[in-house]
Amino acid sequence: MSKRDRAREWVNNYAITGTGIVVAAIIPGSTSIALMAIEGTMCFHIGRIYRGDDFSMKEAGAIAASVGLAAVAGQIIALEALTLVPWAGWAAKAAIAGGIIKALGEAIISYYENKDSQFSPTSTITFKPQTIEIVEIEPPNKIITLIGTTSAGKSSTANALLGYEAFSIGAEHGTTTQVNQEDYMRGYSLRDTPGLMDDTNFNEIVWEAIQDSELVIYVTGEGQLYRQELEIFKRIRESQIQWDQDSETMGVRQLALYVNREDVKQSTMDSQTIQQEANLIRNQVSQWIPSHKVVFGASSPIARGIRQPAQIEALESLINSHINNQK
């Protein structure tokens, strides 16, 4: 499902809640205020679909001010007029409030589509590990490295695993620009890396970080992997096998897939659709890793503008299993 489709599905679901908010605004002038609040909420949640879970309410507010309510100005005037008609007018508001919210949602989606198309992984991912000359392959260190496309939520995931904010996160696209490492647990370190993008220096940095890591976790927040991501995934696994052969550490280097932002799916998809997509993702990578090494979670979930506890139990279980198997 594309970002546009996911955003539209979220808007359609939210229209029910938003309609209730608008209908309840019976004080003259309160309809516009209610719609401004709805617009901010929609900018934030749709922004997370397009920009990732590091997207902030502050940036959403700035975008809401930019998009404005001009797209539905005429309908807002009609709603305000209905507010002045007790009971019958209030009831009539429900008939058009949902349409206004959907129109507003389309305006916000169009904004993100027009402004953020340059962030599409389909046009930015390149990976050139062949440019790295490795003279001698050493056994891997006790390092768990998170990699993935820009804004997939790697830093948020690393912070959630550590239980504190060790790695910088922000609304800006590509906040992490170097490899960062922190002590994790049981003698292992946790490593955060720059997002994969069309930058040779970043490619080299990430590739070197992968080469000496026991466990590499590919983080994605987009659902199904793009073709370029699958090519990267394949190259990593094949290289790990070769490195283990060269360093006489067969089977030590491992690769896993962590699908982030399940909270967004839960608010925009029904359970059957979520399960179908999960099966498709497992099938995408089945030739390189077993299904139990594909896990799902939400590293930085937000509900009603409030950050919620991370939902990373499956990821933590996968890491613990890896560490136990290395003993």
d(CA 92, CA 79): 9
CATH 3.40.50.300 domain position(s) in the chain: 142-325
What is the per-residue pLDDT for 66? 56
- What's residue 88's pLDDT? 46
**Measured at the alpha carbon of residue 97, what is the angle toward residues 91 and 102, in degrees to the nearest 5?**
155
* Residue reference for tokens 């976790």: 217
C-alpha distances out from residue 245 to 10, 148, 256, 267, Å: 47, 25, 19, 45
Q: What is the pLDDT of residues 128-174, one digit of tens each?
A: 554 445 456 778 889 999 998 877 889 999 999 999 988 877 544 44
Report the pLDDT value the prediction gives residue 296, as an integer from 0 to 100: 96
Second CATH level (architecture) for the domain 142-325: 3-Layer(aba) Sandwich (3.40)
Dihedral sign for Cα 270, 152, 206, 316, please: negative
Q: Are 3 and 49 in contact (CB under 8 A)?
A: yes
pLDDT (0 to 100) of residue 259: 94
The reported pTM is 0.62
Look at residues 164, 182, 184 and name the one whose alpha carbon lies nearest to residue 310: 164
Q: Per-residue confidence of the chain (327 residues) as pLDDT tens digits?
A: 788 888 888 887 776 665 554 445 444 445 555 556 666 777 788 888 877 776 666 666 666 655 654 444 444 445 454 454 454 444 555 556 666 777 777 888 887 777 555 444 444 445 555 444 545 677 888 999 999 887 788 999 999 999 998 887 754 444 556 788 999 999 999 999 887 754 545 567 888 889 989 999 999 986 788 787 888 899 999 999 999 999 889 899 999 999 998 888 787 778 888 898 899 999 999 999 999 999 999 998 887 778 889 999 999 999 999 999 987
Quick check: helix, strand or coil at residue 236?
A: helix
